[in-house]
Amino acid sequence: MIRAVIFDLDGTLLETEQLKAESYARAAIQLKPNVFSESQVISAFEDFVGGSREEVSKGMMNRFDLENAARIRMAEFGASEPWQVYTRLRLRIFEEIVADENILRQAAWKHNVDLLHQVRAANCKVGLATMSYCPQVERSLHALELENAFDFIATREDVENPKPDPEIYLLVAKALDVPATECMVVEDSVAGVRAALAAGSLVLAVATPLTKRKLHESGLLDDHHIVDSPEDLQETLAHLMAHHNQEH
């Protein structure tokens, strides 16, 4: 029996992964102007969605040969490693993008926000497990008017290990006083799905344009666990719950 639903934030309730991709692209172009296009970098970001800042930055730097360009600017950014330059430059750009709350409101994934309200209306416990940091989470939830929508919120500051480690999902399940095996997790990325599965939870993966290919290629979930289009969300959810109830 599912007694709680735990949502991811970036890529699930908000289309912030696309905004992050744009910030990585602009930062890469600032480091190496006139070498590649923004669309090339955004396309490459698909391979790293859901990773930590260090993992994504190192992966993207290797892909586009940015290390030397970043190394030159280490003193400027007070960085100890070249990847930190790329991360801090990217964060500066991202902060400029999301400073406008209208951008965040427009980035809402309405189908998943509607699902959140549906779950709350059914008197199910609701949690949030995000690898974003608290200030960004607070800003995003305020823009979406979801500050009071969750029974418990866990952010990057609350755990030692990022997804795909299950720590954050185990933490939220414990805080909700529900076994992780009785929680359904709504995720969009391969890293998030791995974390939820490792916690023992039922997983509903709602794909985005940036995560769809990797979700299917990962083989982590059967197709009836993956929503490829917002129009399929309710049907996929009903099928998943019926299948789960039969097994339990």
> Which residue in 227, 212, 169 sits closest to 194, CA to CA?
169
pLDDT of residue 174: 98
**Per-residue pLDDT at 177:** 98
- The β-bridge relationship of strands 226-227 and 4-7 is unpaired
pTM of the model: 0.89
Instruction: Determine which helix (DSSP H) or strand (DSSP E) holds 131, and give its type and residue range.
Output: none
Q: How much is the pLDDT for 224?
A: 84
pLDDT at residue number 247: 76
In the prediction, which pLDDT does 149 show?
Answer: 97
Tokens at 226, concatenated: 């993956």
Of 184, 98, 171, whose CA–CA distance to 130 is shortest? 171
User: What pLDDT shows up at residue 244?
Assistant: 81
3-state secondary structure 124-185: CEEEEECCCCHHHHHHHHHHHCCCCCCCEEECHHHCCCCCCCCHHHHHHHHHCCCCHHHEEE
Task: Specify the pLDDT at position 199.
Answer: 98
- The answer to whether 127 and 176 have CB atoms below 8 angstroms apart is yes
Side-chain half-sphere CA neighbours of 158 within 13 A:
22
Instruction: Point out the residues of the chain with pLDDT beneath 50.
Output: none
pLDDT of residue 11: 92
In the Cβ-directed half-sphere of 146, how many Cα atoms lie within 13 Å? 30
* Cβ 129 vs Cβ 154: under 8 Å: yes
